[in-house]
Chain A
């Protein structure tokens, strides 16, 4: 059974898309290969799959953990639910749908179903056409910040979720909660990776 069609149908039958996550476990049972191992609190399963594959492509597992190891996709689901206001939620969801539509037009499938190579091909295009963030002074953007669109927003959230996670903050980057002193000019080789805080 085609999963997306099934989801759509079930959601319609239930009268509410909000019920989809709770039906998730039922649906999974008729899946050959479940791709999501978690239940989103805001996103639909389809949307969550897109986020998962997207953050995995941006920050894959190497000798260091990948975005999925740090549950960055779950974090972004929480950001959608609790950080975004209604307008931001709607805008982002609409842009997410558009992202997949464009993907389908170009590669014949939605992003989560593309081969790794096609995903990378598609993201290269997204990179070149997405807006950029303005510089910041003391946490506030300088000048007027124009919207950067779905891809750049999710990429930025992925970096935030990944690098502000405990494992990366404590064990991969340099964790120094109480430096005790300020040394203004030391060899980078004495430190290695970036300070995490």
Chain B
């Protein structure tokens, strides 16, 4: 597809360098290339061409020796990814090698990575929700963290901009706490979800249930096909129906003729020129040859993922920035956030035995935040809030393992769909705590001699208080909705499970307490932009990727305009 810079000496100087090719890096590349900038994307892993490099996209369980499961050797390679529960033989090639990429868990923390072109955009959950001023004003109102240097009105048009290109399906609801996106048609709720929706909305005024808002096309867009309901997204989609850098932004960037991608390029540091007062380039290690190479550009976008971007900035030291590039505030590496997850309730439903569905919908239901959204819904138990994801469906043969039966009738019964089941699981906002942090661990280096990260992060009382309410509300809602055999659960997992790492190079109004300004520029090195999760000043309770897209497009267009004005 793209120009690949595999001859390192050929071209050392570009207009822009983008570090990383995941969700935000892909957007940065697209915007910068379309703005006319010769752009080099540095990717630490291999090339993954859309469709061509999706080897398992059409495999059925019987095509794989262990029917999709991973043996002990593969599990060792994916020890972290396996803890998250999503790695299998169908997608393991899109998960980083955890053995080769160690980090230290000062406290338990799950850091799931995707080291290839497209990064985790190949693997993400695709749930897309706009933030509102309830989120952007949260820090200012309750005093946790620092104030966001922007408000909803500053991002609103950028949300629309990225949604029109990415393709987000969903149902408009007009809720102030969860602004509607520019939607493609919503996916359908099934019979039981519709029933539960009406019961919850009747029993709990102010609560609503809707179909998930997702980056899946429900009608063709820009040459991409619509979702075929195979639910095999994490193998790569041959139809390009879900948003990934590989299927969407990188091809657009490439179409301009301005894109070069260099694979196997591990960024060691960003080069800062004290006389010029700005960054001049990026120093990489070729992952295959271990050679150090420098590339130069007028602007640099950091999109390596929250923690990897932070790692690079911490490792970019100079006389001016002894503690890492842009770290005058001492906040670089701090305020790490995630969402709590896997706390909720599940159960079975009677009835609808004669109803079924067709298709494997890669989406579920969403119950938007309903606590602490106004004076009426205020609780004194915690600040901020939570939302639920979940869904309903009929059980299959796998339920047979627990049934106290065996033999001919048992076998035949398993050919038919089982009872309807329904679950919801909450996502809680996590506060920015200065002491939740990552630091460079120079004692433990990786196979390229690079310092690794030590991650020291935990959920605290506010998150635990939210989780308690998530669980009790979940059980109560399911009870009132007529669900039986309800099991409330809280896996009390460590942070990182949400795979929504955020906050370690936060935006803010004051250079003394933040790393980035209101347009994602490092306060003291304005030609360096950070637009991945590291920039987030608070965490909201909704999935963050759509906001990364909007902030990236906004920052990239700001960068182009500033370059034209010769301000960078």
Given contacts A82-B71, A85-B72, A142-B346, contact A179 B360 (CB under 8 A): yes
Q: Is A58 an interface residue (CB 8 A)?
A: yes
The answer to whether B397 and A194 have CB atoms under 8 Å apart is: yes
Q: Which of A151-170 contact B (CB under 8 A)?
A: 152, 155-156, 159-166, 169
B230 adjacent to A137 (CB under 8 Å): no
Chain A residues, Cβ within 8 Å of B72: 83-86
> With A58-B407, A137-B346 as given contacts, are A179 and B414 in contact (CB-CB < 8 Å)?
no
The answer, yes or no, to whether B355 is at the interface (CB within 8 Å) is yes
Interface residues on A, range: 35 or more
Given contacts A179-B228, A187-B354, A155 and B401 within 8 Å (CB-CB): yes
Residues of B within 8 A of A177 (CB): 58, 60, 230
How near does chain A come to B273, taking the closest CB pair, in angstroms? 48
- Determine if A159 and B397 form an interchain contact, defined as CB atoms under 8 angstroms apart: yes
B507 part of interface (Cβ distance < 8 Å):
no
Given contacts A143-B491, A163-B414, contact A179 B229 (CB under 8 A): yes
> Contact at B189–A194, with CB atoms within 8 Å?
no
Interface 9-mer from A45-53, A95-103, A104-112, A120-128: A120-128
Q: Given A137-B342, A139-B86, A159-B401, are A182 and B358 neighbors across the interface (CB < 8 Å)?
A: yes
Q: What chain A residues lie within 8 Å of B58 (beta carbons)?
A: 177
The answer to whether A142 and B359 touch across the interface, beta carbons within 8 angstroms, is no
Q: Is A140 an interface residue, CB under 8 A from the partner?
A: yes
Which A residues touch B557, using CB under 8 A? none
CB distance from B350 to the nearest CB of A (A): 15
A195 vs B449: C-alpha distance when bound (angstroms): 50
Q: Which of B248-300 contact A (CB under 8 A)?
A: none
A64 at the interface (CB under 8 A from B): yes
Report yes or no: B407 in contact with A60, Cβ–Cβ below 8 A.
Answer: yes
Q: Chain B residues with Cβ under 8 A from A138's Cβ?
A: 85-86
Nearest chain B CB to A162's CB is how many angstroms away?
8
* Segment 43-65 of B: residues with Cβ below 8 Å from A: 58, 60-62, 65
Residue of B nearest to A144 (CB): B491
Scan residues 361-412 of chain B and give those whose CB is less than 8 A from a CB of chain A. Answer: 361, 394, 396-398, 400-402, 404-408, 410-412
Interface segment, B145-153, B160-168, B190-198, B531-539? B190-198
Give the complex CA separation of A184 and B365 in angstroms: 13
A57-B407, A155-B401 known; A184-B357 Cβ under 8 A: yes
Q: Is the CB of A176 within 8 A of B358?
A: yes
- Provide the bound-state CA to CA distance between A184 and B187, in Å: 9
The answer, yes or no, to whether B114 is at the interface (CB within 8 Å) is no
Chain B residues contacting A152 (CB-CB under 8 Å) are 401-402
Count A/B pairs, Cβ under 8 Å.
179
Checking A59, A156, A173, A183 against B358 with a beta-carbon cut-off of 8 angstroms, the contacting residue is: A183
Contact indicator per residue, chain A 57-90, by CB within 8 Å of chain B (1) or not (0): 1111010101000000001001100111110000
Would B406 and A155 count as touching, CB distance under 8 A? yes
Q: How far is the CA of A143 from the CA of B19 in the complex (A)?
A: 39
Q: Name the CB-closest residue of B to A143.
A: B489
Binds A, one of B304-312, B320-328, B415-423: B415-423
Is B140 interfacial (CB 8 A cutoff)?
no
Q: Is B12 an interface residue (CB 8 A)?
A: no
Is there a chain B Cβ closer than 8 Å to A34's Cβ? Answer: no
B432 in contact (CB, < 8 A): no
Given A60-B408, A138-B85, A142-B487, A187:B402 Cβ within 8 A: no
Inter-chain contact A189/B354, CB cutoff 8 Å = yes
CB contact under 8 A between A184 and B404, given known A59-B411, A83-B71: no
* Minimum C-beta distance from A175 to chain B (A): 8
Chain B residue with minimal CB distance to A166?
B62
Find out whether the CB atom of B342 lies under 8 angstroms from the CB atom of A185.
Answer: no
Chain B residues numbered 178-217 whose CB sits less than 8 Å from any CB in chain A = 187-191, 193-194
Q: Is the CB of B411 within 8 A of A185?
A: no
Q: What's the least CB distance linking A50 to chain B, in Å?
A: 15
Q: Does B353 contact A (CB under 8 A)?
A: yes
Whether, in the assembled complex, A15 has its beta carbon less than 8 Å from a beta carbon of chain B, the answer is: no
Determine whether the beta carbon of A164 is less than 8 Å from that of B355: no
Q: With A83-B69, A143-B491, A183-B359 given, is the CB distance from A169 to B406 under 8 Å?
A: no
Given A135-B346, A187-B356, A127:B405 Cβ within 8 A: yes
Interface centre among A83, A182, A193 (most CB of B within 10 A): A182
Contact A188 B356 (CB under 8 A): yes
Complex CA distance for A57 and B396, rounded to whole angstroms: 20
A177 to B354, CA, bound (A): 23
Q: Which residues of B sit under 8 angstroms from A78, Cβ to Cβ?
A: 65-66
Q: Would you call A187 and B355 a contact (CB within 8 A)?
A: yes
**B71–A165 touching, CB < 8 Å:** no
| B interface residues with partner A (beta carbon < 8 Å) | 58, 60-62, 65-72, 75, 85-86, 187-191, 193-194, 228-230, 342, 344, 346, 353-361, 394, 396-398, 400-402, 404-408, 410-412, 414-417, 423, 425, 487, 489, 491
List the 8 shortest-distance A-B pairs measured between CB atoms, nearest first.
A182-B359, A184-B190, A140-B85, A142-B489, A179-B359, A156-B401, A185-B191, A184-B188
- A85-B72, A180-B228, A194-B415 given; name 16 further pairs at CB < 8 Å: A62-B412, A64-B415, A135-B489, A137-B489, A155-B400, A163-B396, A163-B397, A177-B60, A181-B358, A182-B358, A182-B361, A184-B188, A184-B193, A185-B188, A193-B416, A194-B394
Chain A residues near B (Cβ < 8 Å): 57-60, 62, 64, 66, 75, 78-79, 82-86, 120, 123, 127-128, 132-133, 135, 137-140, 142-143, 152, 155-156, 159-166, 169, 172-173, 176-191, 193-195, 197
Q: List 8 A-B contacts (CB under 8 A).
A: A66-B411, A135-B423, A179-B230, A181-B229, A182-B187, A183-B359, A185-B194, A197-B360
